[in-house]
């Protein structure tokens, strides 16, 4: 324990912080093994207690258990998401099945579950305090949903399935990462048409780092693909970049994920059948807001016709521009972003590249802090360089305090830039969650992005979409910081609700106070012109056909795959045929094609739950209208306080539908979502 830094208690300021500067991959395997050993001893001690089961002698020690392992898993996730390497992946491949077996030992501990069930049954007769009742309910349901009540033969098979799935998930994710690292498009100097200077400099550096001096590299990640397809005038190169990106995991080689998808679906179906469910969706959604796959699909199907109708309008507009320019082409998926940008300029006189001149990452970070102060009463101050360990020099850290009282709330880590070994996309996570039952714990939260790192001395300019995502992920962090729960289990999110808190925060980007203070030109420092702001707001629903359809296609396919018979499934054919039956426009594809749909197939987090973004967006649009109607708009103190109290602070301490009714006085209505996207509202 004393020699392995990953096992040690966190020391230093702010109630102790992870020793990211001292973590060593060689310590990871023994630390995980020791952490699991210690937690299993704690579990056995609870299970073998002679006293009659109570909340205090069963649930409380269960909530306390695994502190050492929890610390190790923080480092494990950093190795996995932020600083991955081939050496790490070898350790991961060995440890993932062991971690699965470890989880099964706890979930299938018969003596432990008997105690949990007794406490649960007793609580139905003599209710506990509200938060204790919720904890017992969530723990009992978690064990029951994961096979605790099965007979021994079925338990053994259930555990074996989980073990096999854990390795498949890891393999799926690593295959996607391999295709992101292995497929690079190189450009020559005469193939840079339409691209910005900062983007060109970044591509030059990447090419140079890869030993291709004098060339320009387009890596196979969204942060490069998206702007390249938007601005590059080289159509053949756009096609190549598009095909590389949307073929990840689907290249018929050693990193192909199609067999992984089939096996994952087969095992998931077999596992839930052991529990008496017909399909994975029925099992998964029983404790979500949607409750059933049918309810989720009803929402997706309600929006789909308007979305594809809007795509047809968008494509017609783009084709007209291409024809007028004499391009002599038919719009293809690799043309969509490029010609959409031309239509934006034509219809709204709005140039995305012009908008980017006013979207600097450092100023957007200041905007995050401003919103946090105005709406959540938080103050963010940078900690002294070197006082808090980080795992990469680009990571910066801020202390979060209550603006009024000065009370310490936690630390916020920001890891903003793309680099080799870091998974693509943007995400938020915690290193330590808030709780008070075992001493008040502060929050250590992190936001992670993949912005293209600028050349030294250059400003980092981002698109409006990327700025929106930046606020989105910060919304998750604010949800972590706002937590006011006693027990750790209550910090666990409800998947079709947990995106609400991040999606609602996006709305502050287009508020006047943020625009007027933080959208300033990166060279002159002048505020964004009012005329340009007007254009941005006028174009708020522009391209919603594309945005909504590519998302909905992924959400619908997620559900369809899990409702289908996977025994003889051809993944590519099923995807193609299902989308054709939906009249999927040929000019775009799913946001996440199945062989690289990591949300769904590299873990179970979003499996039959990707619809949750749309479900949460119904709440978001409805709540946004409440702010629009408030006396002080999005900065209305009374409504903001109500939002924090009911929709952020409780985390999972109350039913989300009940929490929303306390905030709004009624259930959310889909009409707000349709208005928000500029779609027709049914009478």
Summarize pLDDT for 104-154 with one digit per residue, the tens: 999 999 999 999 999 999 999 999 999 999 999 999 999 999 999 999 999
Contact yes or no for 478/648 (Cβ under 8 A): yes
Cβ count within 10 A of residue 292: 13
Q: What is the end-to-end Cα distance of the chain in Å, rounded?
A: 66
Return the H-helix or E-strand segment holding 444: strand 443-451
Residue of 623, 659, 609, 606 lying closest to 134 (CA atoms) = 659
Tell me phi and psi for residue 163, to 5 degrees. -65, -45
Contact yes or no for 185/237 (Cβ under 8 A): yes
- How large is the average pLDDT for residues 36-48? 98
Contact yes or no for 650/484 (Cβ under 8 A): yes
Question: What gap in Å lies between CA 681 and CA 683, rounded to an integer?
Answer: 6
Contact yes or no for 357/455 (Cβ under 8 A): no
Has residue 457 got a pLDDT over 90? no
Cβ count within 10 A of residue 219: 27
State the pLDDT at residue 355.
Answer: 95
State the pLDDT at residue 682.
Answer: 74
Summarize pLDDT for 482-503 with one digit per residue, the tens: 999 999 999 998 888 999 999 9
Has residue 419 got a pLDDT over 80? yes
Share of the chain above pLDDT 90, in %: 95
Question: What gap in Å lies between CA 533 and CA 637, rounded to an integer?
Answer: 25
Residue 66 to residues 71, 134, 573, Cα–Cα distance (Å)? 9, 21, 44
Question: What gap in Å lies between CA 310 and CA 548, rounded to an integer?
Answer: 9
Tell me phi and psi for residue 453, to 5 degrees. -65, 130
State the pLDDT at residue 1.
Answer: 55
Residue of 547, 471, 544, 463 lying closest to 502 (CA atoms) = 471
Q: How confident is the model at residue 35 (pLDDT cuts 50, 70, 90)?
A: very high
How many Cα neighbours within 13 Å face the side chain of 108?
A: 19
Contact yes or no for 410/479 (Cβ under 8 A): no
- How large is the average pLDDT for residues 201-207? 94
Return the H-helix or E-strand segment holding 22: none
Has residue 453 got a pLDDT over 80? yes
Q: How confident is the model at residue 434 (pLDDT cuts 50, 70, 90)?
A: very high
- How large is the average pLDDT for residues 376-380? 98
Lowest average pLDDT, out of 24-28, 335-339, 419-423, 668-672, goes to 419-423
Has residue 683 got a pLDDT over 70? no
Q: Is the pTM of this model over 0.85?
A: yes
Residue of 621, 659, 625 lying closest to 643 (CA atoms) = 659
DSSP classification of residue 56: I
DSSP-assigned letters across all residues of 618-649: HHHHHHHHHHHHSTTGGG-HHHHHHHIIIIIT
Summarize pLDDT for 580-623 with one digit per residue, the tens: 999 999 999 999 999 999 999 999 989 999 999 999 999 999 99
Tell me phi and psi for residue 31, to 5 degrees. -70, -45
Q: How confident is the model at residue 406 (pLDDT cuts 50, 70, 90)?
A: very high
Summarize pLDDT for 260-313 with one digit per residue, the tens: 999 999 999 999 999 999 999 999 999 899 999 999 999 999 999 999 999 999
Summarize pLDDT for 65-116 with one digit per residue, the tens: 999 999 999 999 999 999 999 999 999 999 999 999 999 999 999 999 999 9
Mean pLDDT of the chain: 96
Has residue 383 got a pLDDT over 70? yes
């Amino acid at each position: 324990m004393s020699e392995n830094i990953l096992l040690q208690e966190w020391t230093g300021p702010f109630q102790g912080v992870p020793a990211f500067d001292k973590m060593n991959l060689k310590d990871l395997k023994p630390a995980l093994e020791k952490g699991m050993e210690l937690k299993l001893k704690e579990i056995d001690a609870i299970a073998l207690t002679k006293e009659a089961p109570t909340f205090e002698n069963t649930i409380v020690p269960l909530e306390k258990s695994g502190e050492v392992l929890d610390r190790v898993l923080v480092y494990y996730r950093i190795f996995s998401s932020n600083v991955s390497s081939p050496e790490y992946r070898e350790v991961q491949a060995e440890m993932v099945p062991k971690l699965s077996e470890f989880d099964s030992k706890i979930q299938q501990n018969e003596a432990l579950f008997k105690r949990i069930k007794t406490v649960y049954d007793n609580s139905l007769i003599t209710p506990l305090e509200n938060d204790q009742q919720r904890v017992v309910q969530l723990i009992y349901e978690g064990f029951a949903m994961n096979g605790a009540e099965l007979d021994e033969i079925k338990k053994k098979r259930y555990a074996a399935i989980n073990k096999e799935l854990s390795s498949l998930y890891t393999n799926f994710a690593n295959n996607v990462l391999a295709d992101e690292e292995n497929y690079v498009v190189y450009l020559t100097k005469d193939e840079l048409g339409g691209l910005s200077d900062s983007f060109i400099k970044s591509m030059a550096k990447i090419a140079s780092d890869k030993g291709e001096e004098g060339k320009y590299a387009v890596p196979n990640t969204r942060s490069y693909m998206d702007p390249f397809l938007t601005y590059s005038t080289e159509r053949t190169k756009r096609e190549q970049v598009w095909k590389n990106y949307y073929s990840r995991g689907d290249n018929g080689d050693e990193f192909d994920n199609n067999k992984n998808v089939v096996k994952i679906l087969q095992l998931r179906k077999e596992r839930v059948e052991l529990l008496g469910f017909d399909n994975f969706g029925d099992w998964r959604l029983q404790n979500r807001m949607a409750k059933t796959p049918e309810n989720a699909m009803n929402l997706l199907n309600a929006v789909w016709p308007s979305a594809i109708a809007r795509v047809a309008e968008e494509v017609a507009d783009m084709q007209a521009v291409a024809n007028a320019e004499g391009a002599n082409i038919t719009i293809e998926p690799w043309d969509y972003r490029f010609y959409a940008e031309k239509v934006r300029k034509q219809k709204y006189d709005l140039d995305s590249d012009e908008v980017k001149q006013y979207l600097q990452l450092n100023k957007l970070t200041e905007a995050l802090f401003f919103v946090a102060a105005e709406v959540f009463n938080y103050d963010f101050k940078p900690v002294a360089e070197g006082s808090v360990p980080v795992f990469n020099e680009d990571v910066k850290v801020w202390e979060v305090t209550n603006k009024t009282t000065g009370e310490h709330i936690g630390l916020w880590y920001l890891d903003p830039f793309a680099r080799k070994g870091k998974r693509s996309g943007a995400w938020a996570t915690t290193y330590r969650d808030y709780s008070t039952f075992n001493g008040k714990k502060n929050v250590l939260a992190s936001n992670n992005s993949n912005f293209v790192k600028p050349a030294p001395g250059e400003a980092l300019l981002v698109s409006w979409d990327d700025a929106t995502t930046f606020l989105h992920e910060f919304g998750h962090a604010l949800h972590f910081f706002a937590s006011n729960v006693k027990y750790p289990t209550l910090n666990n999110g409800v998947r079709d609700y947990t995106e609400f808190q991040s999606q609602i925060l996006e709305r502050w980007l287009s508020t006047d106070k943020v625009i007027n203070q933080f959208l300033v030109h990166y060279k002159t420092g002048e505020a964004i012109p009012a005329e340009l702001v007007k254009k941005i707001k006028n174009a708020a629903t522009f391209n919603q056909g594309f945005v909504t359809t590519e998302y909905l296609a992924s959400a619908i396919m997620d559900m369809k795959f899990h409702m289908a018979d996977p025994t003889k499934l051809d993944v590519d054919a099923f995807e193609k045929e299902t989308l054709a039956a939906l009249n999927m426009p040929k000019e775009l594809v799913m946001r996440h094609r199945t062989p690289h749909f990591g949300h769904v197939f590299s873990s179970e987090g979003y499996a039959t739950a990707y619809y949750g973004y749309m479900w949460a967006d119904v709440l978001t649009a409805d709540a946004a209208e409440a702010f629009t109607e408030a006396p002080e708009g999005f900065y209305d103190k009374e409504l903001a306080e109500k939002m924090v109290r009911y929709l952020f602070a409780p985390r999972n301490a109350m039913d989300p539908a009940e929490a929303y009714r306390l905030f709004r006085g009624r259930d959310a209505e889909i009409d707000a979502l349709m208005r928000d996207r500029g779609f027709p509202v049914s009478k």
